[in-house]
Amino acid sequence: MSIQVAGVSKHFGAFEALHDVSLEIAPGELVALLGPSGSGKTTLLRVIAGLEVPDAGRILFNGDDATDRRVQEREVGFVFQHYALFRHMTIFENVAFGLRVRPRALRPGEPEIARRVLRLLKLVQLDWLADRYPHQLSGGQRQRIALARALAIEPKVLLLDEPFGALDAKVRKELRRWLRRLHDEIHLTSVFVTHDQEEALEVADRVVVVNKGRIEQVGTPEEVYDHPATPFVYEFLGNVNVIESEGGRDYVRPHEIEVTAGPQSGSLAALVDHAVKIGPVVRLEVSRRDTGENLEVELPRDRFDRLGVETGAVVWLRPRRSRFFPQSAPHEAKIA
Amino acid sequence: MASIASSAPLVRATARRRPVAWVPIVLVGVALAYLSLFLFVPLFAVFFEALRKGWGVYLAAIREPDAWSAVKLTLLAAAIAVPLNLVFGVAAAWAIAKFDFGGKSLLITLIDLPFSVSPVISGLIYVLMFGLQGWFGPWLAEHELKVVFAVPGIVLATVFVTFPFVARELIPLMQAQGREEEEAAVLLGANAWQLLWRVTLPNVKWGLLYGVILCNARAMGEFGAVSVVSGHVRGYTNTLPLHIEILYNEYNFAAAFACASLLALLALVTLVLKTAVESRQAREQRP
């Protein structure tokens, strides 16, 4: 099912959480809402789910206006950051809940409920936990149960609010790959909220970068990373050097700077303050000789070794690629 | 600490070298002395005095018709007040913890009112409202209805005084549990009724029971408010606490203490139940 967000605004008191946001999500797509905390991404997700009522704008499912549809009737599966499993119910009952609360005429019989629940528990590879209670499970297991519970009602849309946010780094990585595979299997239109750029770039078909209640850019992971539309996107997705120049600022990624031992045309001299070796990559912290400005450069380990420079040496830098944003840019860049 | 008890010589040697732990000993001693003086001795005295003249006198005092009608009235007042405040408490706590609306803090303050007002004042309010000279007095007299100095007044006063117990117990518990489980249930298709019975209430059942036990204890033991509206009509508007006072004022100590022992027993049962519920709650609340 497609989702269309048309001109949605939402205030909480004086705080503007969403400002005239419009977005289209195609059927079967996996979209990430990416932004810093307080950017409005969770509010947008909750508006789509019907948990928040927008001040203005419409939400359309498959072209039908769903703005005034009750939460119960939206047929959305929702996964919370902190799982929100029913603590007094077994895992089986948690997953069965959505089927049990259906009106009598639509409620499947007990054997059918059991069959469906077990199928879902197998899908999330946790069928052996059916009789446990949520507090007996690990975070990663709980989140997979939450997903099975959301899928039990055969939702038309799956919404995930920071689904991996409460998990440790290793489980996070496993689970997001697993989610990507699951999505490739079931092709359910899915939207997930995250503040982790790596997660968004790795998992999503398309990334929606949100900042201060507005959408900064929508595009594939490659598009938003390689061609950031605004200074904010540049800074939020990956590291970037912001270089003051006439009438604006130049944005250069650390790995898009060429480092040489001697001067070249268009290069500038800098002092190596610090060289940090991180596995196959070396990060140089340098300061420009003319302005003293601090910059970050990243280069492959072997390239660094061939260069043969040490802390205190002078190197020459030339950006391979940079992007200029004039000072009067609509979104004032924040220097990280 | 437990390992000190095991007779490993090394451990014992360490224990001996430690300075004498007199601070805990003194503190525990003071606490015990205090408890004995103000709790155990009076409790013992109640049962001792009640049984001083033997079982016969004790049973006679309890079986006496006025005493028996006091017991029945006490049970009646509790039987009305507790369910009423249970329903109200759940409704108020649910509204306050799970919904946003204007005047929420005012509602919380109002719920606390019976705690902050002297019970005597609570009783007086009802006399002023429903007494013969009160606001509704003439209307009630016209329709031959009696509230003050009658059973309805006792029930009203009991309801008022015990009104915060369930709500007060549930509000912090529900607030701590947050709204996510309710949101999840609604997203899965649950209606408000299913939400209440399948998600909200099961999550607070021990807190709810705890509130009911406290509410009941207060309903049966209330003296001040009930005393004002009762009129002390023997065999008719006397609850157990009021009956005890009358007996005591008549120097009928054996009967007074016999009735008092019933309330003391209620207190003991309440304490046992409360402890049992608390331990269940603690076990289920663990993360």
For A79, nearest residue in chain B (alpha carbons) = B184
Q: Which residues of B touch A87 (CB under 8 A)?
A: 181, 203
Return the amino acid letter for B97. A
Q: Which residues of A touch B189 (CB under 8 A)?
A: 72, 98, 101-102, 153
Residue B42 sits at the chain A interface (C-beta within 8 Å):
no
User: Residues A166, A169, A175, A177: is their CA dihedral positive or negative?
Assistant: positive
Structure tokens, B222: 């209330």
Q: Distance (Å) from the C-alpha of residue B189 to the closest C-alpha of chain A?
A: 4
Q: What is the DSSP letter of A327?
A: T
**For A133-152, what is each residue's pLDDT tens digit?**
999 999 889 999 999 999 99
Cα–Cα distance measured from residue A84 to residue B161, given in angstroms and rounded to the nearest whole number: 37
The DSSP bridge partners found for residue A319 are: A257
CA-nearest of B168, B171, B165 to B97 is B171
Q: Do B189 and A149 touch (CB under 8 A)?
A: no
Q: Do B189 and A84 touch (CB under 8 A)?
A: no
Q: Do B183 and A84 touch (CB under 8 A)?
A: yes
User: Residues A151, A152, A157, A159: is their CA dihedral positive or negative?
Assistant: negative
Q: Distance (Å) from the C-alpha of residue A217 to the closest C-alpha of chain B?
A: 29
- Give, in degrees to the nearest 5, the angle at Cα A35 between A29 and A36: 155
**Crossing angle of helices B65-98/B205-221, nearest 10°?**
140
State which H helix or E strand residue A38 sits in.
none
Q: Do A72 and B191 touch (CB under 8 A)?
A: yes
- Band of residue B188 on the pLDDT scale cut at 50, 70, 90: very high
- Band of residue B6 on the pLDDT scale cut at 50, 70, 90: very low
For B203, nearest residue in chain A (alpha carbons) = A88
Q: Do A86 and B181 touch (CB under 8 A)?
A: yes
- Band of residue A328 on the pLDDT scale cut at 50, 70, 90: low
**For B18-49, what is each residue's pLDDT tens digit?**
667 888 899 999 999 998 888 888 888 888 88
Structure tokens, B254: 């054996």
The 3-class SS string of chain B reads CHHHHCCCHHHHHHHHHCCCCHHHHHHHHHHHHHHHHHHHHHHHHHHHHHHCCHHHHHHHHHHCHHHHHHHHHHHHHHHHHHHHHHHHHHHHHHHHHHCCCCCHHHHHHHHHHHHHCCHHHHHHHHHHHHCCCCCCHHHHHHCCCCCCCCHHHHHHHHHHHHCHHHHHHHHHHHHHHCCHHHHHHHHCCCCHHHHHHHHHHHHCHHHHHHHHHHHHHHHHHCCHHHHHHHCCCCCCCCCHHHHHHHHHHCCCHHHHHHHHHHHHHHHHHHHHHHHHHHHHHHHHHCC
Number of helices (H) and strands (E) in chain A: give both, helices first: 9, 18
Q: What is the pLDDT of residue B285?
A: 57
Q: Which residues of B touch A98 (CB under 8 A)?
A: 188-189
Q: Do A85 and B181 touch (CB under 8 A)?
A: yes
Q: Do B184 and A49 touch (CB under 8 A)?
A: no
For A81, nearest residue in chain B (alpha carbons) = B180
Q: Distance (Å) from the C-alpha of residue B186 to the closest C-alpha of chain A?
A: 6
Q: Do B198 and A101 touch (CB under 8 A)?
A: yes
**Beta carbon pairs, A and B, within 8 Å:** 63
Q: Do B187 and A78 touch (CB under 8 A)?
A: yes
Structure tokens, B267: 């207190």
Q: Is it the case that residue A326 has pLDDT exceeding 70?
A: yes
Q: Which residues of B touch A86 (CB under 8 A)?
A: 181, 184-185, 198-199, 203
Q: Which residues of A touch B287 (CB under 8 A)?
A: 135
Q: Do B203 and A88 touch (CB under 8 A)?
A: yes
Q: Distance (Å) from the C-alpha of residue A171 to the closest C-alpha of chain B?
A: 20
Q: Which residues of B touch A152 (CB under 8 A)?
A: 188
Q: Which residues of B touch A84 (CB under 8 A)?
A: 180-181, 183-184
Q: Do A98 and B189 touch (CB under 8 A)?
A: yes
A28: left (phi over 0), alpha (psi -120 to 50) or beta: left
Q: What is the pLDDT of residue B19?
A: 63
**Strands A30-34 and A206-211: what pairing?**
parallel
CA-nearest of A223, A309, A200 to A262 is A309
**Strands A56-61 and A3-12: what pairing?**
antiparallel
Q: Distance (Å) from the C-alpha of residue A141 to the closest C-alpha of chain B?
A: 15
- Indicate the range of A55-59, A214-218, B248-252 predicted with least confidence: B248-252
Q: Distance (Å) from the C-alpha of residue B175 to the closest C-alpha of chain A?
A: 14
- Band of residue A43 on the pLDDT scale cut at 50, 70, 90: very high
- SS3 at position A212: coil
**For A221-262, what is each residue's pLDDT tens digit?**
999 988 899 989 988 888 888 888 788 888 888 888 888 888
Q: What is the pLDDT of residue A94?
A: 94
Spatial neighbors of B183 by CB under 8 A, at least 6 apart, are A51, A78, A80, A84
For A160, nearest residue in chain B (alpha carbons) = B184
Torsion, CA B116, CA B121, CA B126, CA B127, rounded to 10: 180
Q: Strands (DSSP E) along chain A, which ranges? A: 3-12, 15-25, 30-34, 56-61, 64-65, 76-79, 157-161, 189-194, 206-211, 214-219, 241-245, 248-252, 257-260, 268-278, 281-288, 294-300, 314-319, 323-326
Q: Do B187 and A49 touch (CB under 8 A)?
A: yes
Whether the Cβ atoms of residue A284 and residue A255 lie closer than 8 Å to each other:
no
Q: What is the pLDDT of residue B1?
A: 38
Among the partner residues A88, A135, A153, nearest to B189 by beta-carbon distance: A153
Q: Distance (Å) from the C-alpha of residue B208 to the closest C-alpha of chain A?
A: 15
Residue B65 sits at the chain A interface (C-beta within 8 Å):
no
- Name the one residue in this structure whose structure tokens are 């002023």: B128
Whether the Cβ atoms of residue B76 and residue B151 lie closer than 8 Å to each other:
yes
Return the amino acid letter for B37. L
**For B126-179, what is each residue's pLDDT tens digit?**
888 888 787 888 888 888 888 888 888 889 899 999 989 999 999 999 999 889
| pTM for this prediction | 0.79
Among the partner residues A51, A87, A97, nearest to B188 by beta-carbon distance: A97
- Band of residue B233 on the pLDDT scale cut at 50, 70, 90: confident
Give φ, ψ of B127 to 5 degrees.
-65, -45
Q: What is the pLDDT of residue B16?
A: 54
Q: Distance (Å) from the C-alpha of residue B188 to the closest C-alpha of chain A?
A: 5
Q: Do A149 and B184 touch (CB under 8 A)?
A: yes
The predicted complex's ipTM stands at: 0.83
Spatial neighbors of A32 by CB under 8 A, at least 6 apart, are A191, A192, A193, A194, A199, A200, A203, A204, A206, A207, A208
Q: Is it the case that residue B277 has pLDDT exceeding 80?
A: yes
For A139, nearest residue in chain B (alpha carbons) = B287
Residue B181 sits at the chain A interface (C-beta within 8 Å):
yes
Q: Which of A115-124, A293-302, A306-315, B240-249 has the highest mean pLDDT?
A: A115-124
